[in-house]
Structure 1
Amino acid sequence: MASLKEAKRLVVKIGSALLVDQKSGLRSDWLRSLATDVAAIRARGTDVILVSSGSIALGRGVLGLPRTELALEQSQAAAAVGQIRLARAYEEALAPHGITTAQVLVTLEDSENRRRYLNSRATMETLLGLGVTPIVNENDTVATDEIRYGDNDRLAAQVAVTVGADCLVLLSDVDGFYSDNPHINKDAQHYEVIEEITCDIERQAGDAGSGLSKGGMKTKVMAAKLATGAGCQMAITLGTPLNPLKTLEEGGKCTWFNAQTNPQAARKGWIAAMKPHGEVTVDAGAGAALMSGKSLLPIGIVASSGDYQRGDAVAIVTADGQHLGLGLARYSSAETVVIKGMQSRDIAKELGYKGRGVFIHRDDMVI
């Protein structure tokens, strides 16, 4: 049975309806209870990332906009006003627990473009390494239909994949996955665990508008497919009670979707399947370091060939032509020619701008 207590890196999705009451505004008591849960989870060494809706709902109230569907420009204006309040609310709720927060705004393009994806990954890895809890939301002030996730279920799953999380919790207005809408069909079957997302499970999820919240259960199953395929277990549970994560830990009703692999193996498999755009030759010292699990530094590179950009896959070979592995380059081929054999501290002086300390990080490499 899956367990939240075993998670090393947790992503939690919070919907607007949980965070904002249309009549009274921000549900401060609920948010404080969530902050208490987050602090308890972090105290045992688990990284926590929160994916939160709520900016448009908060901004709408401040601007006095109607509760009916808003025009795109009205939604974006509401998001601009509400995002400040949303970030401040999380900061004020988590600060008493000694937790520093960071705001991360993303669009669909940030995950589809490999360079932006790597930038997002590096930023969030650095924040987590510094003990910060990122608060992630879609960048509604700039996102239009063609660059929108459209729902924070799939955004949360993409964030989980990006940061290599092993657990994703969707706090919802329903306590799990059912064979049918339980509000309509009293005989609907509740699933405690779903080992594999079959065609029958997808059929039972219905269409995108059939669920109890925006996007419906179908988007949650789509999120589960993305997360579990990348080695991340996922839970759908009722988020409305106070201390929802504590309730889940203590056996609260939910549905767990079990992961099909683990995050590290999934990422390595993804990289291994890539076609290299170029090749770097490394010296003996770098080769030995790579075999022992180290990252590849520019100083260990003796030659580069091919035409590649930052984020592209490049092959790693020894001077005698032995193939060592494959990895995602943090510099373009043109930059690599300049910095090969160079100490990391000298890169900025040579390129004229600050770059990454490593050429291929060990997490972005398959040996």
Structure 2
Amino acid sequence: MDRIVIKVGSAVLTEKNEIAKDRMMNLVYLISKLRSKYEVVLVSSGAVAAGYSALQLDKTKQIGKKAIAAAGQPILMSSYKMMFDILHIDTAQILLTEDDFDSRKRTKMFQEIINAHIPNNILPIVNENDISSTPEQLFGDNDQLSANVAQAVDADLLVILSDINGYYDKDPSKHKDAKLYKVLDELPEGVLDECATPNDPFATGGIVTKLKAADFMMRHGRKMFLSNGFDLEACEAFLMKGEHTLGTLFLPKGEGKKEKKKDKKKKG
């Protein structure tokens, strides 16, 4: 059975500083279906956005963000637990920092925890440990965290669910003629040097951090799929049926031509 890591962002999970219950439930149902075909690890943002409803401090300040995250983590996890309980799926929370991937012992411990959870039908839910870590210990965004998680747990695919349909040749909110890249095995020159511009005030990424995650996966010989988390239809079709309607598939260098040939055969 293939192993996948699914990362979901704050923009998808929260709305007006509260858990977007319908969208979270849709994600929970999708993960339930996917577990019949894949071993699944979930990387979830949303603690800071959820915590802001209980504690409205200045999140631009380090202590404010930490305090908000501390309030938000139980809100986020209790929401997940309540919804996964409906489908009889047990969950576990794992909080990590960048340091956990710099130490062989700590990385091995994380790998062993994941490998203990999955065979026992437990869904691991990973988030960055904003609370007890220094800025130097943090990735700063869960896109890059999820790529490192995917590499560490030997996942076949990273799926990032966001507020966009995929990666375009230009900003689709500003340009009507923007074209979606369906398959890429090489990133356009200079895109990783651009500034992160998240659409949501509680998000820490934007398209640049997703491209950095894709670059990490591609360099390590792994795949990434960027898809819309508001409407999970395209993601489900891709993962369950192999139908690629929307979303961008990032492949290791040289594999793009093979994938395009497969796509043409299916259409033919």
TM normalised by structure 1 equals 0.63
Residue 53 of structure 2 is matched in structure 1 by 61
Distance 1:104 1:202 in 2: 35
Residue 5 of structure 2 is matched in structure 1 by 11
Partner residue of 1:28 out of 21, 29, 34: 21
C-alpha displacement of 1:215: 2.5
Residue 190 of structure 2 is matched in structure 1 by 203
Distance 1:231 1:126 in 2: 25
Residue 270 of structure 1 is matched in structure 2 by none
1:52 aligns with 2:44: yes
Residue 114 of structure 2 is matched in structure 1 by 124
CA shift in 2, pair 1:71/1:118, >3 Å? same
Distance 2:120 2:77 in 1: 19
Residue 176 of structure 2 is matched in structure 1 by 186
8 A Cα contact 1:56 1:79, kept in partner: yes
What secondary structure does 1:62 align onto? coil
| RMSD (Å) for aligned C-alpha atoms | 2.2
Distance 1:190 1:206 in 2: 20
CA shift in 2, pair 1:220/1:196, >3 Å? same
1:259 aligns with 2:252: yes
Distance 1:39 1:243 in 2: 14
Distance 1:139 1:171 in 2: 20
C-alpha displacement of 1:252: 4.1
Partner residue of 1:238 out of 206, 213, 228: 228
For 1:154-233, what aligned pairs fall within 5 Å after superposition? 154-197=144-187, 201-204=188-191, 207-210=194-197, 212=199, 214-233=204-223
Q: Which runs of 5+ in 1 are unaligned?
A: 1-6, 262-367
CA shift in 2, pair 1:215/1:242, >3 Å? closer
Q: Deviations over 1:268-325 (max 9, x none)?
A: xxxxxxxxxxxxxxxxxxxxxxxxxxxxxxxxxxxxxxxxxxxxxxxxxxxxxxxxxx
AA of the residue aligned to 1:203: G
Q: Which runs of 5+ in 2 are unaligned?
A: 255-268
What secondary structure does 1:43 align onto? coil
C-alpha displacement of 1:246: 2.1
C-alpha displacement of 1:19: 0.6
8 A Cα contact 1:37 1:243, kept in partner: no
For 1:200-349, what aligned pairs fall within 5 Å after superposition? 201-204=188-191, 207-210=194-197, 212=199, 214-241=204-231, 245-246=235-236, 248-249=238-239, 251-259=244-252
TM normalised by structure 2 equals 0.85
8 A Cα contact 2:4 2:41, kept in partner: yes
Sequence identity, in percent? 33
Distance 1:242 1:150 in 2: 26
8 A Cα contact 2:59 2:68, kept in partner: no
Q: Deviations over 1:168-210 (max 9, x none)?
A: 111011111112212123333321100233xxx1424561324
8 A Cα contact 1:233 1:256, kept in partner: yes
CA shift in 2, pair 1:94/1:58, >3 Å? same
AA of the residue aligned to 2:103: N
Structure with bigger RCO (C-alpha 8 Å, 6+ apart): 2
Residue 347 of structure 1 is matched in structure 2 by none
C-alpha displacement of 1:77: 1.0
Q: Deviations over 1:69-92 (max 9, x none)?
A: 432111111111111111111111
Structure (1 or 2) with the larger CA radius of gyration: 1
8 A Cα contact 2:234 2:247, kept in partner: no
What secondary structure does 1:259 align onto? coil
8 A Cα contact 1:191 1:255, kept in partner: yes
C-alpha displacement of 1:145: 1.5
Residue 105 of structure 1 is matched in structure 2 by 95
Distance 1:244 1:138 in 2: 27
CA shift in 2, pair 1:122/1:105, >3 Å? same
Partner residue of 1:140 out of 94, 110, 130: 130
